[in-house]
Amino acid sequence: MAELRLGPLLRYTDDSCATVWVETSGPCTAQVRCSNGASGTAPAFRVAGHHYALVTVTGLEPGTAPSYEVFLDDTPVWPLPDSPFPPSVIRSPGAGETVRVTFGSCRWAAPPADGKDPVGPDALDTLARRLSADPEAQPPDVLLLLGDQVYADETSAETRRLLAGRRDLDEPPGAQVADYEEYCHLYYESWLDPEIRWLLSTVPSFMIFDDHDIVDDWNTSAAWLADMRTTDWWQQRLLAGLMSYWVHQHLGNLSPAELAHDPTWAAVHATQDGTDALRALAERADTDLASVRFSYRRDFGRVRLVMVDSRAARVLEENRRAMLDPGEAAWLREQVLADEGAYDHLLIGTSLPWLLPHLVHAAEAWDAALCAGERGDRWARFGERLRRGADLEHWAAFPRSFADLADLIAEAGSAPGAPAGVYVLSGDVHHGYIARATWPSGGSSAPVVQLTCSPVHNSVPLTMRLGFHFGWSAPARLLGHLLTRHGRCARPPVRWRKQGGPWFGNQLMTLTLRGRSAHLRLERTNKTSTLHTAHETPLPPT
């Protein structure tokens, strides 16, 4: 008899259907039954010895929130026996309702309940405890996880013990994960956390990867990638990381209609073992950028989210370096500008911030110019060492892509029927801040705001905290100006100023969108393992 190994995760939802993801211990048929009669069934599929199902639940009604149970071959497996949590529910949005979007990134798996947490209370854990303890607490309508859902290169003591039982950790990649089986352990370690498991079963979630889902500095540069390909472990790591991402994270980002037209989804189900079909997808993602897309779009009523892959879609050759390959850039433009006047708010999700502290932006633009040969070969070699050592690989390190995104946002924010606001949601940098963008001449008539929230559960050294504080200052802007002059960098087409932060500590931001108004709340964890409001403001900030 098959058992529930991981999940359920509530993923895609709309006013009539939803998808629920599970991992099972063997072949079976998974079924979801809701208290209002809505239901769905799906056969498990197999990848690398593991079995999964993505159940499409139909018959939901707008504005309702029925509880649900999960069955495997008619045996009930969820909720767990003696669960201390409320029943899991599927909320179907009603027309014109307020949309609450909670987001963050960088969640290193929390230690066991009886262990000391080296980085402080987990913000998602504390959110789950608040929601489960208070029936009147308002849950998010959607949870956006903006990268580093697992850390393949920074493993816990428990994971290192497991790896040591499988192979010699003195051989590369050492205490980092190496294959699909080890990636699965990372998801067990992260998602079997009781609070997280319940939270993900009852709040719809959408996800995108960042570098640590594969390895720190993933796709920093062509030279970096060439060096990685000389190792005997990189190819297996990359393929395993992309395969496990597709199974655990990407599938749930897609609607049932998109899944119905997805060739990999069809290929995985067409055989008893979908491993080869999924490995073929991962290989194409490595060698043929235009053939694979991990970006996606979701509309929540009159709120549009466009989630952008700012890792796997990169073009790395110095003479045509870009954050997005041409096909991806064209797709982004189409999603942002489609259906003129159809949405009141535009959310652009990208794991890496578009607008950074001014000195950091200038340093990345300067370094990009050096690496491109603007100051000769010796400076180019220095620039490459600096790029890797200082993680200079955000949007600012791809100047043409930075400018192209600025132009696209300006066009969307000034078109007839423009949204009330454009919000770029990001993480990665282990602190939070708000920055307002303006254009020197022309540009967006709608307010444009960078909202950065990170980490959910991690830390940042004191030296970097001081650096991020300094990076927004007037002296830092002057120093940045000197760097960009040396690099002969073009002036950015957009200007920006910090309007909140920087905030440090484990945190979440919640964006509440009602009609054409927007409100932001930043919450951080404290020593009592609860969330407290650190900042609250209407958007754009006043």
Q: Provide the residue type at 14 as one letter.
A: D
Whether the CB-CB separation of 60 and 470 falls below 8 Å is answered with no
Q: Provide the residue type at 270 as one letter.
A: A
Residues 505-522 have pLDDT tens digits of 999 999 999 999 999 999
Tokens of 96: 């014109």
User: What does each of the 542 residues of the chain score in pLDDT, given as a tens digit?
Assistant: 899 999 999 999 999 999 999 999 999 999 999 999 999 999 999 999 999 999 999 999 999 999 999 999 999 999 999 999 999 999 998 877 899 999 999 999 877 666 678 889 999 999 999 999 998 899 999 999 999 999 999 999 999 999 999 999 999 999 999 999 999 999 999 999 999 999 999 999 999 999 999 999 999 999 999 999 999 999 999 999 999 999 999 999 999 999 999 999 999 999 999 999 999 999 999 998 788 999 999 999 999 999 999 999 999 999 999 999 999 999 999 999 998 888 999 999 999 999 999 999 999 999 999 999 999 999 999 999 999 999 999 999 999 999 999 999 999 999 888 999 999 999 999 999 999 999 998 888 999 999 999 999 999 999 889 999 999 999 999 999 999 999 999 999 999 999 999 999 999 999 999 999 999 999 999 888 899 999 999 999 87
**What pLDDT shows up at residue 113?**
63
**What pLDDT shows up at residue 114?**
63
Using the CB atoms, write b or e for 347-381: b if 16+ within 10 Å: bbbbbbbbbbbbbbbbbbbbbbbbbeebbeeebbe
Predicted structure pTM score:
0.96
**What pLDDT shows up at residue 53?**
98
**What pLDDT shows up at residue 317?**
95
SS3 332: helix
Whether the CB-CB separation of 460 and 105 falls below 8 Å is answered with no
Query: By C-alpha distance, which of 194, 251, 185 is closest to 78?
Result: 194
Instruction: Report d(CA 66, CA 36) in Å as an integer.
Output: 6
Instruction: Report d(CA 19, CA 11) in Å as an integer.
Output: 6
Instruction: Report d(CA 281, CA 278) in Å as an integer.
Output: 5
Residues 424-455 have pLDDT tens digits of 999 999 999 999 999 998 888 999 999 999 99
CATH topology of domain 99-245+291-539: Purple Acid Phosphatase; chain A, domain 2 (3.60.21)
CB count in 10 Å sphere of residue 390: 12
Q: What are phi and psi of 288, to 5 degrees?
A: -140, 85
Whether the CB-CB separation of 214 and 312 falls below 8 Å is answered with no
**What pLDDT shows up at residue 117?**
82
Q: What are phi and psi of 537, to 5 degrees?
A: -160, 150
Q: Provide the residue type at 329 as one letter.
A: A
Query: By C-alpha distance, which of 297, 345, 341, 342 is closest to 99?
Result: 345
Instruction: Report d(CA 206, CA 213) in Å as an integer.
Output: 15
Q: Provide the residue type at 520 as one letter.
A: L
Instruction: Report d(CA 383, CA 221) in Å as an integer.
Output: 11
Per 3-state DSSP, what percentage of the chain is helix, strand, and coil (rounded to 5)?
Answer: 35, 25, 40
**What pLDDT shows up at residue 290?**
81
**What pLDDT shows up at residue 232?**
96
Sign of the four-CA dihedral 337, 315, 460, 500: negative
Instruction: Report d(CA 218, CA 195) in Å as an integer.
Output: 30
